[in-house]
Structure 1
Amino acid sequence: MSNVEVDPATRRCAAVDHNDSAPQVDVLSARDVPLGGPRAMTVRRTLPQRARTLIGAWCFVDHYGPDDVADTGGMDVAPHPHTGLQTVSWLFSGEIEHRDSLGSHAFVRPGELNLMTGGYGISHSEGSTVSTTILHGVQLWVALPEEHRHTGRDFRHYVPNPVRMDGAEIRVFLGSLAGGTSPVRTFTPLLGAELVLDPRSTTTLPVDAGFEHGLLVDQGEVRMTGTLLRPAELGYLGAGNDTLMLTNETDAPARAVLLGGTPFEEPIVMWWNFIGRTHDDIVEARQAWENASDRFGSVDGYDGDRLPAPALPNATIAPRKNPARH
């Protein structure tokens, strides 16, 4: 998915100090971002924001739906570029058609992972299919570390088997959790999983103490290590915890997406659909896209024009860091 904000924020991200002795969950609220057009669907963006820019290498979290495509028009994102990141698509309902400049033509369906590696440069399009009535899911980005940020284009599709443990059904699409392991390659240690929690249940998950974690609640109300999270809220828990206690406070199943990873130590510059290390990296990527260079290739099969890049800010892109935890 593209970041189609007209005036995308400039962010430079770095890790925070993780010396807290007691578990503390920060609650991050979402802001609405339209995907464009008078009838366009709106996504709820919880990452990045002023309170937090990274959870591990996860740098972008969009949550959308359930949307009746007859009302919103569904998703129709024209070909657009990416650098320095991986995109992760995960659906709860509906179907999305994906095309990219590798020549990949694939579909995103509920419970199935589509992961695209941008690296030095890739372009792709996304659109909900004609068979979709309700569109509902998440779109996530992962920042690539310096040694891999110019890696080649790649695309992977994976269908995880559900893992059952007391009080929860888990689908691990990246990393490992509760006996489930994804074979899909990441370039930093990561975790990504869908959790469906039984009504009025408590589940204690063994997690990597070196990871920081984020829990995005999709439906229901979930208490994360004592802090209540409501739908569309993202709870953040710093590194240093080897268990994660989750309680479904409702009489119906609750659903959430758990993200985790080792703190990402490298400063990065993130603007529009590009992740680099300097202002000049962003300028060069934008110019390459506007000049239709071979860096991003072309997307075959999309009926329409590609997305133009927004104007650069009238200043050097400045650094921005996560706030220190108290």
Structure 2
Amino acid sequence: MSNLETEPQELLCPSRPGTVEVLEPRLVPLGGPRAMTVRRTLPQRQRSLIGAWCFVDHYGPDDVAGTGGMSVPPHPHTGLQTVSWLFTGEIQHADSAGYHARVRPGELNLMTAGKGISHSEYSTPATTVLHGAQLWVALPDGARFMEPTFEHYRPRPFSLPGATLSVFLGTLAGEISPVATHTPLLGAELVIAADAALRLNLDPSFEHGFLVDSGSLTLAGQPLARGELGYVGPGRSLLVLEAGPEPVRLLLIGGTPLGESIVMWWNFVGRSHDEIVAARQAWQTEIGAEGAHPASPLFGLPADQEDPPLPAPALPTVTLRPRTNPA
């Protein structure tokens, strides 16, 4: 998914431990008059990273007849991985590395941008309700210039007392995803039965985020409503998750603190102002928006695309300045 904001902010994303806190979503429209609206909980001013996770968009359930569904033409990415996870509906993915895939409920689709990639995402004609999340993972310095690639994995749902678990990245409760990561990461879907309490053992070196998709959750005594993201810093090896009178579905993300500061603007993750400017200029030149098409494009375009690629927003008129989390 692209960040379609017309005035995206540059963020310095330090990785540091913190206390338990609740991150409220902000509504972001994607597209035109019938825009699909997402609930964005990461990044925020008070917290920009959870492990290497740097971006969380949560959407639906949306009636595609009313919203138009997902319609995101080719757009670029650098220095990150996109994680697509659906609850309902289907999305067609196509990228410039030659990968085409259907994103379906309960299946991980992981695109690694590395040094540069472009992709498109469209909900399929058969989709009537669209509901899911897209998340980004910042690549560490040693991997951010790797060749782009794509991986697909369907985890096996696993039963716990009062809950069902699907681990799509990392390890939890003895379940292991075979998908390789470039920093220690965790990604999982949890469904907790109504009025059940789940005691969850966690890696104490990780910081964790709990995104509530449906129902109401009490996390270590802290109430969380639908759409909220609960953050727990490193040092906790056991947490109690309590469902309310309805079943709770949530996404659990986590990882060791990244230990690197990243600059994120539009769809690019870099380490400096100059990197972001160079990535934007490369994309604009490639699509013919600013200058002639280069002989050796950095991003490329997916094959057989009807819609023109998205141009990058204008850069701010001042030098991009990173932002730090409040103390």
Shorter-chain TM-score category? over 0.9
Cα deviation for residue 174 of structure 1 reads 0.4
Contact 1:54 / 1:322 at 8 angstroms: preserved in 2?
A: no
Distance 1:61 1:17 in 2: 19
For residues 185-227 of structure 1, the C-alpha deviation after alignment (integer angstroms, 9 at most, x for no partner) is 1110000000000110000111100000000000000011110
Is the CA contact (8 Å cut-off) linking 1:193 and 1:258 kept in structure 2? yes
Deviations 1:51-72 (A, max 9, x none): 2100000000000000000000
Structure 1 residue 79 corresponds to structure 2 residue 79: no
Deviation at 1:322, TM superposition (A): 2.7
Secondary structure of the corresponding residue to residue 131 of structure 1: coil
Determine the C-alpha separation between the residues in 1 that align with 2:143 and 2:325.
23
Aligned equivalent of 1:259: 253
* Cα deviation, residue 122, structure 1: 0.4
Aligned residue in 1 for 2:94: 99
Aligned structure 1 segments of 4 or more residues deviating by more than 3 angstroms: none
Report what 1:21 is aligned to: none
Instruction: Select 2:197's aligned residue among 192, 196, 202.
Output: 202
Q: Deviations over 1:54-94 (max 9, x none)?
A: 00000000000000000000000000000000000000000
Note the C-alpha offset of 1:124: 0.2
Q: CA deviation at 1:102?
A: 0.9
Structure 2 contact 75–118 (Cα < 8 Å) conserved: yes
SS in 2 for 1:283: helix
| 1:239-263 deviation digits (Å, cap 9, x = unpaired) | 001112100012x211000000001
- Unpaired segments ≥5 residues, structure 1: 19-23
Question: What is the SS of the residue equivalent to 1:124?
Answer: strand
Q: Residues 1-326 of structure 1 correspond to what in structure 2 (within 5 A)?
A: 1-18=1-18, 24-250=19-245, 252-292=246-286, 293=294, 294-324=297-327
Q: Which residue of structure 1 aligns with residue 289 of structure 2?
A: none
Aligned AA (1:173): F
Letter in 2 for 1:133: T
**More deviation in 240-249 or 54-63?**
240-249
| Secondary structure at the counterpart of residue 86 of structure 2 | strand
Shift of 1:40: 1.5
For the residue of structure 2 that corresponds to 1:70, the secondary structure is helix
Aligned residues: 318
- Distance (whole Å) between structure 1 residues aligned to residue 238 and residue 158 of structure 2: 17
Contact 1:213–1:237, Cα closer than 8 Å, also in 2: yes
8 Å Cα contact 2:38-2:57 kept in structure 1: yes
% same residue = 61
C-alpha distance in 2, partners of 1:296/1:167? 46
Which letter maps to 2:262?
I
- TM normalised by structure 2 equals 0.96
In the TM superposition, residue 302 of structure 1 has moved relative to its aligned partner by 2.0
Q: Distance in 2 between matches of 1:321 and 1:177?
A: 31
CA deviation profile, 1:247-301 (whole Å, cap 9, x unmatched): 0012x21100000000111111100000000101001100110111511011112
CA offsets 1:2-41 (integer angstroms, 9 cap, x no match): 00001001101112255xxxxx420110011011100011
Partners of 1:185 and 1:17 in 2: CA distance: 24
CA separation of 1:170/1:17 partners in 2, compared to 1, >3 Å: closer, same or farther?
closer
Contact 1:163 1:178 in 2 (8 A): no
2:85 counterpart letter in structure 1: W
Kept in 2: contact 1:16–1:322 (CA 8 A): no
**CA distance, structure 2, for counterparts of residue 276 and residue 138 of structure 1:** 23
Write the deviation string for residues 149-203 of structure 1: whole angstroms up to 9, x where unpaired.
1011010000000011111100001001012111111110000000000110000
Can you give the 5+ residue segments of structure 2 that lack an aligned partner in the other structure? Answer: 287-293
Alpha-carbon offset, residue 101 of structure 1:
0.5
Code of the aligned partner of 1:67? D
The SS at the match of 2:142 is helix
- 1:319: how far off? 1.9
* Residues 57 and 264 in structure 1, CA contact (< 8 A), matched pair in contact too: yes
